[in-house]
Amino acid sequence: MRILGIETSCDETGIAIYDSENGLLAHALHSQVALHAEYGGVVPELASRDHVQKTLPLIRQVMDEAGIQPADIDGIAYTAGPGLIGALMVGTGIGRSLAYAWGVPAVAVHHMEGHLLAPMLEESPPEFPFVALLVSGGHTQLVRVDGIGQYQLLGESLDDAAGEAFDKTAKLLGLGYPGGPALAKLAEQGNPDRFTFPRPMTDRPGLDFSFSGLKTFALNTMQSHELDDQTKADIALAFEIAVVETLAIKCKRALKQTGLKRLIIAGGVSANTRLRTRLAEVCEKENGRVYYPRLAFCTDNGAMIAFAGCQRLMAGERQGLDFSARARWPMEELGRV
């Protein structure tokens, strides 16, 4: 089955064609970073308008690259949520309409299920069951995954998501948007012995997270020190280490609690080098293994949506002619495949 995937849930237009026999045929991404940079964050209305302009040309580009005509497409997968409602409506509207026009089935894909399955696009994909750490701009969740659509939430952030904490702290440090990569880059110059930030909620049982206090801790540290370039780098590093160590402690706990040996990490923050290295160490110690997507598929992309949609379409799932986008959409509501 050859599936066209459309991702427009936030600030990237991602398009891909995935073939169940031959894998990924082509993919392309248009990032809106430059568009939102001067505002220091995503402006939802600008995001929607840009998706309107970019989605169809990008679909044409990807189909040309793959040498594919509409008649070669067997189904369309689009992100229907969660995300920015206006942005989601663009991909949802275009995806459902193209499916109608081309006479092929459509399927509404959950954005976080896309992230969660992204490691399966790589060579030697993980087998079920596994523990998934989903760390993006909007979500921080530990999930037990027994199969596609079989998700048991083990823990999640009670306030800011990990990526959101990166973005907010980066903003305090005067770094641009998106803050995560910028903060990680600054942290490379930091001295690890200068500051130690807390590891929130690790001293009590459970697998939930809380990251908003770290941002405040960073602010207090900034206010009580002369803010030269070195101090900023030291704060960035202390913050990054605190987030990574907190995630590592909870991942280890989740593996112990479930008795599972495989861990996957996905979502924008899984692009963080320190996190990837640390979780690989944790899994090695536990005689387990960590799996993650290639860097380009950690952050939002069309390939993960085409892949997730393909699994659901192959299982017979279909979206009717009625369709809607959902800003909020708990992953546990997804049906089994």
Backbone angles phi, psi at 140, to 5 degrees: -135, 110
Pairing relation of β-strands 106-110 and 12-19? unpaired
Least Å from the CB of residue 138 to ligand KG4: 5
Smaller CB distance to Zn ion: residue 116 or 233? 116
Alpha carbons 334 and 114: distance in angstroms, whole number: 12
Residue 166 contacts ligand KG4 per CB under 6 A = yes
Smaller CB distance to ligand KG4: residue 136 or 221? 136
Residue 293 contacts ligand KG4 per CB under 6 A = no
Answer for the pair 27, 4: CB distance below 8 angstroms, yes or no: no
Smaller CB distance to ligand KG4: residue 18 or 239? 239
Q: What is the DSSP string of 91-156?
A: HHHHHHHHHHHHT--EEEEEHHHHHHHGGGGSSSPPPSSEEEEEE-SS-EEEEEEEETTEEEEEEE
Smaller CB distance to ligand KG4: residue 235 or 260? 235
Alpha carbons 311 and 337: distance in angstroms, whole number: 8
Least Å from the CB of residue 189 to ligand KG4: 15
Residue 246 contacts Zn ion per CB under 5 A = no
Q: Name the strands in the sheet holding 262-266, side by side, starting at the edge strand that comes first in the sequence.
A: 150-156, 140-147, 130-135, 262-266, 289-291
Candidates 7, 12, 300, 317; binder of Zn ion (CB under 5 A) is 300
Half-sphere exposure of 282 (CA within 13 A, CB side): 26
Which of the stretches 68-76, 136-144, 146-154, 245-253 binds ligand KG4 when contact is defined by CB under 6 A?
A: 136-144
Look at the block and give the residue holding tokens 């996957």. Answer: 264
Candidates 8, 32, 79, 136; binder of Zn ion (CB under 5 A) is 136
Residue 79 contacts Zn ion per CB under 5 A = no
Q: Name 2's bridge partners.
A: 19
Residue 267 contacts ligand KG4 per CB under 6 A = yes
Residue 179 contacts ligand KG4 per CB under 6 A = yes
Residue 317 contacts ligand KG4 per CB under 6 A = no
Least Å from the CB of residue 41 to ligand KG4: 10
The tokens describing 7, both together, are 């991702």
Smaller CB distance to ligand KG4: residue 63 or 291? 291
Smaller CB distance to ligand KG4: residue 10 or 98? 10
Smaller CB distance to ligand KG4: residue 184 or 279? 184
Candidates 181, 194, 210, 249; binder of ligand KG4 (CB under 6 A) is 181
DSSP 322: -
Beta strand ranges found along the chain (DSSP E): 2-7, 12-19, 23-31, 75-81, 106-110, 130-135, 140-147, 150-156, 262-266, 289-291
Alpha carbons 195 and 237: distance in angstroms, whole number: 9
Residue 113 contacts Zn ion per CB under 5 A = no
**What does the binding site for Zn ion look like in residue numbers (CB under 5 A)?**
136, 300
**What does the binding site for ligand KG4 look like in residue numbers (CB under 6 A)?**
10, 136-138, 163-164, 166-167, 178-181, 184, 267-269, 271-272, 299-300
